[in-house]
Amino acid sequence: MMKAEAYTGRGRNRLPGRVRLATALLALALLAGCGMNRLPRHLSRAMLDQPDPAIVRDGAPAYLILLDALIAAEPDDPGRLAAGAQLYALYGTNFVDDAGRRRRLSGRAREYGRRALCAGRSDLCDLQQRPFDGFRAGLTELQSAADVPALYAMTVGWLAWIQSHRDDWWAIADLPKVEAALRRIVFLDEGYRGGSAHDLLGILLTLRPAALGGHPEQGRRHFERALALSGGRDLRVKVDFARCYARLTYDRELHDRLLHEVLAADPRAPGLTLTNTLAQRQARELLESADGYF
């Protein structure tokens, strides 16, 4: 039970941080009025521009509950669904250690992503469940860059779900579909979100060495293209390049150069500050373990 002093004037500020944040978010939602449709986008941007990952870790659950409520109020709004897919994926992947929680959160990310695509293209609501040839045929029906945000949300939510079920071969079997979806995004609008689809393709293509069916050199080209499209501002790309390609090919010089560039960079960039800060943390960890790896 909460202590009595929490209800006194002197103790008001001792309410748990998440309660205060939830109250603030609720007040913001009530004040938003006709701007409610822009609220998920604005709050998502505020989260991504936050330089302190601990604030996001502690505060994101309250925001995700608010986002769930906004989606429940407009269940066919593709923008809200896309925001839900991407932020559930981001939070579950980066801030949750418990495997069971990760699976639950990624399950919601995957479902919101599926619904985001379905909201704009009801003929593709079953796309994820189709056999591979039918899935690929469905992707060709997406002909415009306007289709990319929903397709990207579906793909990112799906990848988070696969990552949280990586010990399940049925989940891993979906990776060729995810790769096909990323290639469609690159075809329609390769610069979307600073070339993020290229970065994700680079990761997928470097999961295995060439001798075991991987395509590391193709992966390298995707990492390099992502760096070019983001102007080098997305530090995650260099970390992924180092972890996935340089370690796979035992290129210590490339590995260390990329990671030192990450640590020397200013992490502050519109829409990238949070993930860049996390990338710098990962870069330190990779450098600390490099002697044991190489």
CA distance 68 to 75: 9
Is residue 179 within 8 A of residue 204, CB to CB? The reply is yes
3-state secondary structure of 178: helix
pLDDT at residue 44 in the model: 81
pLDDT at residue 3 in the model: 39
Q: What does the pLDDT look like over 239-268, one tens digit per residue?
A: 999 999 999 999 999 999 999 999 999 999
Of the CA atoms within 13 Å of residue 221, those in its CB half-sphere come to: 3
Question: What does DSSP assign to residue 251?
Answer: -
Is residue 116 within 8 A of residue 154, CB to CB? The reply is yes
CA distance 213 to 205: 9
pLDDT at residue 37 in the model: 62
Assigned token pair, 268 = 């502050």
**Strands in the chain per DSSP E:** none
Among candidates 213, 158, 210, which has minimal Cα distance to 185? 158
**What is the secondary structure of 29-90 as a DSSP string?**
HHHHGGGGGGHHHHHHHHHHT-S-HHHHHHHHHHHHHHHHHHHHHSTT-HHHHHHHHHHHHH
pLDDT at residue 39 in the model: 67
Q: What is the pLDDT along the chain (294 residues), one digit of tens a residue?
A: 333 333 333 344 444 544 454 444 444 444 444 455 666 777 788 889 999 999 999 989 988 998 999 999 999 999 999 999 999 999 999 999 999 999 999 999 999 999 999 999 999 999 999 999 999 999 999 999 999 999 999 999 999 999 999 999 999 999 999 999 999 999 999 999 999 999 999 999 999 999 999 999 999 999 999 999 999 999 999 999 999 999 999 999 999 999 999 999 999 999 999 999 999 999 999 999 999 999
271: left (phi over 0), alpha (psi -120 to 50) or beta: left
pLDDT at residue 46 in the model: 85
pLDDT at residue 47 in the model: 87
Q: pTM of the entire structure?
A: 0.87
Q: Could you give the dihedral angle defined by the CA atoms of residues 174, 178, 183 and 188, in that order, rounded to the nearest 10 degrees?
A: 130
Domains assigned to the chain: 18-24+38-188 (1.25.40.920), 190-294 (1.25.40.920)
pLDDT at residue 247 in the model: 98
pLDDT at residue 20 in the model: 52
Instruction: Determine the Cα angle at 224 with ends 280 and 237, to 5°.
Output: 20
